[in-house]
Amino acid sequence: MTESKLNSMNTFVERAQRILSTSPGKRFILVRSNIRDFKLVNQVFGFQKGNEILQCLEEYFDKKRLCFDVYCQLHIDQFVFLMEKNSYSEAIFRTIADNCSNLIMGSSFRVHFQLGIYEITNPDMEILSMCDRAKLAIKSIKIDEPFSVAWYNESIMEKRLYFKKVISEFNDALEEGRFLMYLQPQANTKGEIISAEALARWLMKDGTILSPSHFISILEESELIWKLDLYMWEKAAQLLACWKQEDDKKNLSISVNISPKDIHYIDIEKTLIGLVNKYNISPEKMNVEITETSFVSNPAFYVELIEKLHNAGFAIEIDDFGTGYSSLTLLKNFHADILKLDMGFLQNNDNLIRSEIIIDSVIEMAKRLDMQVISEGVETQEQAAFLRINGCDFFQGFYFSRPVPIDKFDTVLKAYNLERTNKGAKHPKSMRNLVLEAV
């Protein structure tokens, strides 16, 4: 921070403290403004444009149209204001944001103006802590709008603390082998288990097991996910090497997940080829799931990656197909082997006829593009039968089995094998019957 900024920050703190301590009974808020990716604005449009935007902001702020009591520039693109709560007007901030972003007209890039607001409940709290809370509110903004506002609340702080806890405990957990590979079986239309998806679980020190919703997005946001993915791919390769020796498993394959963030840290092609060589397994046994949303950010890269992995013998699955906005365009450009229908296609189906038409058409399209189709999230016999009738090749979901630890996977597999070879056998659920009934 430059000396002048530091001075103005000190002055801001002093004046804010004075206002708060001499105005009991009034409700104040601390508003922090931020321009998202301001560096990018400078890079794309040049420093002069960046300066114009900042000047535009400062002019508004200097004219005090915002009715604040005191303000300062925290960083080049960040301002902080102390104002009475009833003087705050979102509309005025929105107008300012619009006017600044209009300085970049005719471009597909929009300036993103964000506000984080902390309502002061304890006037004795340090002003800098209030600024931090307003910053946390900004960080909680997940929507991609040109203007967005978030009010701080305690759950934002709790989430932030949880975020920090995950990051600080992650490396130890990884080194101590406390990430587990669960497997969720995938079946073909004959009711045979032909593969499994590898899904991570975190074994905490107290013995609880965390599911991915508690850590994957945090590891992605903090750019650590690649370490977990490397670990999971290696575990999958090791397991495939063991399965090679076992008659009932030597034909099974395992699907591994690739995070959109991995490409920044790992040479995916080199790593996966390295693993199949190290464990002397066939690349055909290792399916690679790339989520649909990855493609959008970097299409050219993924077209090439898919081609390279494909040439090396891996089967590529487009995961979560149907969740993005450009699913169809994607099919045109990405020559994957398997389309994995997102479970959203099956869930909350108020209008079965419409969804049948969509699923039927997507499957038909995939077939014509020479791809096989797997559906995830199959929870009921009706769904499985419906998918089967419409030409789906593979099924994955709670109806067949939840993701299970490796030893339990053996039990599930044995139960299904028993069912296939012995009609009188009892087993958890019969895929075979369901598939036969559906035809």
Q: Which residues of this protein are in contact with ligand C2E, per CB under 6 A? A: 184, 199-200, 211-213, 216, 225, 228-229, 232, 257, 259, 319-320, 343, 376-379, 397-398, 403
Quick one: 225 or 331, whose CB is closer to ligand C2E? 225
Piece of the chain touching Ca ion by CB under 5 A; list 27-35, 225-233, 282-290, 426-434 = 282-290
Provide the angle, in degrees to the nearest 10, between the axes of the packed helices 406-421 and 431-438.
Answer: 50
292 is an interface residue for Ca ion by CB under 5 A: no
Quick one: 54 or 305, whose CB is closer to ligand C2E? 305
- Other C-beta atoms closer than 10 Å to the C-beta of 30 total 25
Q: How is residue 85 annotated by DSSP?
A: G
Partner whose binding site includes residue 398, from Ca ion, ligand C2E, none (CB under 5 to 8 Å by kind): ligand C2E
Quick one: 185 or 283, whose CB is closer to ligand C2E? 185
Partner whose binding site includes residue 391, from ligand C2E, Ca ion, none (CB under 5 to 8 Å by kind): none
Q: How is residue 114 annotated by DSSP?
A: E
Instruction: Sort residue 227 into left (φ over 0), alpha (ψ -120 to 50) or beta.
Output: alpha
Quick one: 276 or 318, whose CB is closer to Ca ion? 318
CB distance 70 to 127 below 8 Å:
no
Quick one: 34 or 287, whose CB is closer to Ca ion? 287
Piece of the chain touching Ca ion by CB under 5 A; list 76-84, 210-218, 320-328, 407-415 = 320-328
CB of 260 to Ca ion, least distance (A): 12
Partner whose binding site includes residue 322, from ligand C2E, Ca ion, none (CB under 5 to 8 Å by kind): none
- Other C-beta atoms closer than 10 Å to the C-beta of 84 total 15
In the sheet with 147-151, reading across from the earlier edge strand, the strands are 70-75, 78-84, 28-36, 112-119, 147-151
Q: Angle at Cα 254 formed by Cα 249 and Cα 258, nearest 5°?
A: 170
| Token pair belonging to 95 | 């107008």
Partner whose binding site includes residue 260, from Ca ion, ligand C2E, none (CB under 5 to 8 Å by kind): none
Three-state DSSP class for residue 394: strand
CB of 142 to ligand C2E, least distance (A): 17
Distance CA 300, CA 229 (A): 22
CB distance 112 to 144 below 8 Å:
yes
Distance CA 140, CA 152 (A): 9
**How many residues are present in the chain?**
439
Three-state DSSP class for residue 221: helix
327 is an interface residue for Ca ion by CB under 5 A: no
Partner whose binding site includes residue 377, from ligand C2E, Ca ion, none (CB under 5 to 8 Å by kind): ligand C2E
CB of 232 to ligand C2E, least distance (A): 4
Quick one: 116 or 403, whose CB is closer to ligand C2E? 403
Quick one: 127 or 258, whose CB is closer to ligand C2E? 258
Q: What binding mask, one character per residue, do residues 17-36 give for Ca ion by CB under 5 A, x or -?
A: --------------------
Quick one: 120 or 286, whose CB is closer to ligand C2E? 286
Pick the binder of Ca ion from 320, 321, 416, 430 (CB under 5 A). 320
CB of 340 to ligand C2E, least distance (A): 8
Pick the binder of Ca ion from 262, 319, 393, 419 (CB under 5 A). 319
Distance CA 32, CA 132 (A): 9
Distance CA 374, CA 404 (A): 19
Partner whose binding site includes residue 392, from Ca ion, ligand C2E, none (CB under 5 to 8 Å by kind): none
CB of 425 to ligand C2E, least distance (A): 24
317 is an interface residue for Ca ion by CB under 5 A: no
Partner whose binding site includes residue 379, from Ca ion, ligand C2E, none (CB under 5 to 8 Å by kind): ligand C2E
Three-state DSSP class for residue 253: strand
Partner whose binding site includes residue 316, from Ca ion, ligand C2E, none (CB under 5 to 8 Å by kind): none
Partner whose binding site includes residue 273, from ligand C2E, Ca ion, none (CB under 5 to 8 Å by kind): none
Piece of the chain touching Ca ion by CB under 5 A; list 24-32, 287-295, 326-334, 385-393 = 287-295
Q: Locate the DSSP E strands across 189-249.
A: 193-203, 209-210
CB distance 244 to 250 below 8 Å:
yes
Distances (CA, A) of 180 to 199, 229, 252, 398: 8, 12, 19, 19
Among 187, 133, 129, 172, CA closest to 155: 133
| Burial of 239: CB neighbours in 10 Å, binned 0-12, 13-18, 19+ | buried
69 is an interface residue for Ca ion by CB under 5 A: no
Binding stretches for Ca ion (CB under 5 A): 257, 289, 319-320
